[in-house]
Amino acid sequence: MENSTKDHAELAQDFNRDEDRVNWHDETLWFIRQKRDKTAHQIPEWEALREAASQIKNNVLSNLHNYLVLFEKNAVTNGIVVHWAADASEHNKIVHKLISEANVNRMVKSKSMLTEECGLNEYLAEHGIEVIDSDLGERIVQLAEEPPSHIVLPCIHKKKEEIGEIFHKHLGIEANISDPQFLTETARGHLREIFLTRKVALTGVNFAIAETGEFVVCTNEGNADMGAHLADVHIASMGIEKLIPERKHLGVFLRLLTRSATGQPITTYSSHFKKPRDGKKMHVILVDNGRTVQLGRKDFRNSLKCIRCAACMNTCPVYRRSGGHSYHTAVAGPIGSILAPNLDMKKYADLPFASTLCGSCSNVCPVKIDIHEQLYKWRQVLVKNGYAPAAKKVGMQLMTWTLSSPGFYHTVGKVGRLVMKHAPFAVNNKLNPWFKQRDMPYPPAESFNEWYAKNEGKTHR
Amino acid sequence: MKVGLFIPCYVDQFYPNAAIATLRLLQKLGVEVVYPSKQTCCGQPMANSGFEHLTKRCNELFIENFEEFDYIVAPSGSCVLHIRDHLHDDKNPEAAKRISHKIYELTAFLTGVLKVKSLAAKFPYRVGIHQSCHGQRGLHISSMTELVSPEFSKPNSLLNMVQDIELIHLDRKDECCGFGGTFCVTEEAVSVKMGKDRVEDHLKHGAEYITGVDMSCMMHMEGILKRLGSKVKVIHIAEILNAE
Amino acid sequence: MNSREKILSAVIANQPELVPLPELSSFERNASGCSDKFVAMLKSVGGFFYYVSSYDEIINILLSVNGENKKIISTVTELTAYYSEEFLNNPQISNIHDIDVAVLKGRFGVAENGAIWLTDQEMRQRALPFICQHLAVILNADSIIPTMHEAYELISKVTYDFATFIAGPSKTADIEQSLVIGAHGPRSMTVFVMINDQ
């Protein structure tokens, strides 16, 4: 996926070749959006909670330096080893070093979108380290040799029959099994063996608390805990923006996170890791990888408030009908489309355009990121930096000339309507993407401007 | 009260009836309406495509045409939102700001400024309402399903004053139709699929007409309806509110 | 400059002007009617629930649900039949990997989401509430609070090295959004709410 040269529109077109599948994908995610609505509406203070969460995160971004220093100091006092990684490559090297120091060549890992962003699995594989993802959805896409298509539901693009096929091929079950209960039980057996035998476990981090030097990991499956509590070495990878000031702020975030994500009132497990077990090791890796650059972009910095709930993906009418892989980046959907151009403007220039700017994403965001406004602003930045397709530039210039001159505009409009009326083949052809699956509007005999001049007598000015 | 009528370019060219209905409706309600004939466009097609820097002349034209009025009214949520959020003129920043405060989408003007309590309109059909995103989420002319807030809708409150109209219920009452400006051609596959799904929701619930405050969304759905060979029509809300 | 200094100096150069933290006191609630809400939420997250008035009652329920030949481990001293100091002091994975039922005390329950707070003092071994096939938690009836805001008020008064909220059995909906109970952790969670603590 990462190496694909197709842009979002082309990948989305591929996805749309199977309309039944698009309907299924859309309805599955819409179901989650509805669950989110239902649970949010049970909390009368919901909007006040979003506002509080937004303000806490604004404070974090404005005081991040001090919170990082404070977190480090408290975590070290707790017996946690703190590492700093300027970029993806440094993060991966640190993880590799820690695995080597434990004298092992394999590791179990729970969900961490940061490690997807850093390409950790690929890096470790190149260095002879086996990584097994323990989140069920992640394990499924890992066996299928695909990246996750959704940050909370990694294999939401896969049908149960396909998952049965993957398990048949890799985990030795009989062919043609598609019962989710049976498939989950199969994965449980397979992964329990992994949990019991791995000496190193890596987890992500949902929140890290400056005040206490602890960090919180949320899962439904219990896979982060199974990995971390049974291993000798626990590595926790986190972006520097995951800091929150005080423990009491978790009250706000844990109320919002899972309700926004899946419509559950809370994840099954919200684990607070403060100190390693006796004789065991706990590491935290604080990763920048472009985040400080984003922090410096005034219009885009508040994308760093994201708590990775994926509500913006579930609500996005484009995401639901184009699939996570069409975004060709670790974090898909609306939030991914405002994060990715920060990492590579050229590679991700298409993503801010993969939206109708309908604004639903900003409405569901639990930390009130102005996602659709940032999509608009990224478009301006990308065009100014020369990442607009050439044809689009010419078209826009023509449109600008037309709309900048009232006389020219009315002439062009009249000619256009005449052409549509008397030579419809000029617009109704396969070169016109509108016409491929939609009819053109029927051109009226006269524009409103012409009608007004005739019927209302006096034209203004 | 002197109102400047702003008719978006595609309404002017393709949907003059929506503009005529807007004019007649406002006149019926006793408003002095003037249509400045040198207007063109709000500049949104360029700006949403990332070319906001090319909209300078559109902005100047807009200010020249509309500065003198007490209010500016347009039969479009999307274009009004664009003017509110993005109209600027480095030489005349105050004028741009004044305009952004006095421009209204039609239904917001009728309910908020004119405070219309009754209409002499009659429209004996089953009608589905398309909530255009820019009117709804941008201008807040209706409550939104994502937010935990009291329910309201300015367009619906007006349609409820129309005699014999039957408003249908939709499964997804505020999902985007997929028009999205140049999105409709640059992301053709997804745009069409979104439009088909929206139209299907209206058809499933027996709509004879689909209406809304934005002709651009309706143009999109009309294109799909026609290709499907459907008899269901799109109509701007002004045409219903002005129907006799 | 090492990475730590590089990152910290980039942060300080790029972070915006300081904005204050919000006041959170308006979110706090009084505790009336909490128990019913807690029971409803616990059930909604897949938990089972019993009101009990003695430890004997708990043992009887555990036996009737699980049968005789199960490996039941408790960190609750009052449940003498299932409590073994020697067992709990042995951190070997081989010791704990085949536990059928683990019985622990919870500190408090949260009505708005059915979650129960447990610290490593109640767990003795961190893996215990996760690795067991079935989890049972004993809670005092007066330790149910309305929301997460009150929860963190209480948490600020205790110390722990590891602690967690647990809301129901381990679960997943990763396969086509079909809810399956018993992902990697316990296949069931039973909460005993003790009305008259002995």
Query: pLDDT confidence of A461, banded at 50, 70, 90?
Result: very low
pLDDT score, position A4: 56
The per-residue b/e assignment along A13-41, b for 16 or more CB within 10 angstroms, e otherwise, is: bebbeeeeebeebbebbbebbebbbebbe
Distance CA A209, CA A298 (A): 25
Q: Please report, for chain A, the start and end positions of each structural domain, with discontinuous segments joined by +.
A: 1-42+307-388, 43-289, 392-455
A434 vs B contacts (CB less than 8 Å) = 184-185, 188, 223
Q: How far apart are CA C115 and CA C117, in angstroms?
A: 7
Tokens of A282: 């706990």
Of A227-231, A258-262, A456-460, minimum mean pLDDT range: A456-460
Distance from C-alpha of B88 to C-alpha of B60, rounded to nearest angstrom: 8
The DSSP call for residue A247 is G
The answer for residues whose C-beta is within 8 angstroms of residue C111's C-beta and 6 or more apart is C34, C35, C37, C38, C41, C144, C145, C146, C147
* Least confident stretch, A407-421, B31-45, B74-88, B162-176: A407-421
Weakest mean pLDDT among A9-23, A268-282, B85-99, B153-167 = B85-99
pLDDT of residue B24: 97
Instruction: Report phi then psi at A432, rounded to 5.
Output: -100, 105
Write down which chains contact chain A via at least 3 CB pairs under 8 A. B, C
Mutant choice from B33, B34, B37, B170 vs A, greatest count of A C-beta within 10 A: B37
3-state secondary structure of C184: coil
Report the pLDDT averaged over residues B171-197. Answer: 95
Q: pLDDT band for position A431 (50/70/90)?
A: confident
Give the span between the Cα atoms of C148 and C154, in whole angstroms: 10
Q: Above 80 in pLDDT, residue B16?
A: yes
Min Cα–Cα distance to chain A from B38, Å: 5
Mean pLDDT score of chain C, rounded to an integer? 93
CB nearest A444 (choices: B14, B144, B220): B14
Helix B56-66, helix B93-102: angle, nearest 10: 70
How many CB pairs lie under 8 A apart between chains A and C? Answer: 248
Cα–Cα distance for residue pair A347/A1, rounded to 1 Å: 13
Dist CA A235 CA A231 (whole Å): 10
- Chain C residues with CB inside 8 Å of A217's CB? none
d(CA B62, CA A399): 16
Burial of A209 (0-12, 13-18, 19+ CB in 10 A): buried
CA pair distance A130, A149, nearest whole angstrom? 22
Model confidence pLDDT, tens digit, residues A70-107: 999 999 999 999 999 999 999 999 999 999 999 999 99
Mean pLDDT of chain A: 94
- Of all residues in chain A, the percent with pLDDT exceeding 70 is 98
Question: Check: CATH 3.65.10.10 for C32-194?
Answer: no
CATH topology of domain B126-241: Rossmann fold (3.40.50)
User: Does C44 have pLDDT greater than 70?
Assistant: yes
Question: By C-alpha distance, which of A190, A278, A237, A218 is closest to A88?
Answer: A237
Task: Tell me what pLDDT residue C198 has.
Answer: 45
What are the tens digits of pLDDT across the range B203-235? 999 999 999 999 999 999 999 999 999 999 999
Integer Rg of chain B from CA = 17
pLDDT, one tens digit per residue, over A114-138 is: 999 999 999 999 999 999 999 999 9
Taking the Cβ of residue A47 and every Cβ of chain C, the question of whether any pair is shorter than 8 Å is answered with no
Cα separation of A89 and A285, whole Å?
A: 12
Tens digits of per-residue pLDDT, A264-313?
999 999 999 999 999 999 999 999 999 999 999 999 999 999 999 999 99
CB atoms A270 and C185 under 8 Å: no
Q: Which chains touch C (3 or more CB pairs under 8 A)?
A: A
Q: What confidence category does residue A458 fall into, taking pLDDT thresholds of 50, 70 and 90?
A: low
Question: Of residues A459 and B14, which shows the higher confidence score?
Answer: B14
Predicted local distance difference test score (pLDDT) of residue C87: 87
Mean pLDDT within C114-139: 97
d(CA A34, CA B225): 27
* Amino acid letter, A28: T
- How far apart are alpha carbons B224 and C47 in whole angstroms? 49
- Surface-to-core class of residue A221, CB atoms within 10 Å of its CB (0-12 exposed, 13-18 middle, 19+ buried): buried
Query: DSSP letter string over chain B?
Result: -EEEEP--HHHHHH-HHHHHHHHHHHHHTT-EEE-BTT----SHHHHHTT-GGG-HHHHHHHHHHHTT-SEEEES-HHHHHHHHHH---TT-HHHHHHHHHHEEEHHHIIIIIS-------B--SEEEEP--HIIIIIT-SB--TTS-S---BHHHHHHTTSBT-EEPP-SSTT---S-TTTHHHHTHHHHHHHHHHHHHHHHHTT-SEEEES-HHHHHHHHHHHHHHT---EEEEHHHHHT--
Average pLDDT estimate for C169-177: 95
Provide, as residue numbers in chain A, all residues whose Cβ is less than 8 Å from the Cβ of B57. 400, 403-405
C-beta atoms of C153 and A248 within 8 A: yes
Mean pLDDT of A365-371: 98
C138 phi and psi angles, rounded to 5 deg? -105, 135
| Local confidence band at C14 (pLDDT 50, 70, 90 cut-offs) | very high
Delimiting residues of CATH 3.40.50 domain(s) in chain B: 126-241
* A43-289: CATH architecture: 3-Layer(aba) Sandwich (3.40)
Residues of A in contact with C178 (CB under 8 A): 160, 180-181
> Are B137 and A22 an interchain contact pair (Cβ–Cβ within 8 Å)?
no
User: Is there a contact between B225 and B192 (Cβ–Cβ < 8 Å)?
Assistant: no
Nearest-Cα distance to chain A for B134, in Å, is: 7
Size of interface A-B (CB pairs under 8 A): 223
Give me the mean pLDDT over the C2-12 stretch. 98
- Give the closest-approach CA distance of A433 to chain B in angstroms: 5
- How large is the angle between the packed helices A180-197 and A160-170, nearest 10 degrees? 40
pLDDT band at C33 (very low <50, low <70, confident <90, very high): confident
Residues A46-68 have pLDDT tens digits of 999 999 999 999 999 999 999 99
Percent above pLDDT 90 for chain A:
85
In whole numbers, what is the pLDDT of chain B averaged over residues? 95
Chains A and B touch (3+ CB pairs under 8 A): yes
Confidence grade of residue C46 (pLDDT, cut at 50, 70, 90): very high
Res. C30: pLDDT tops 90: no
pLDDT more than 90, % of chain C: 82
- What's the full length of chain C, in residues? 198
The mean pLDDT value for A137-143 works out to 97
Q: Is the pLDDT confidence value at A2 over 50?
A: no
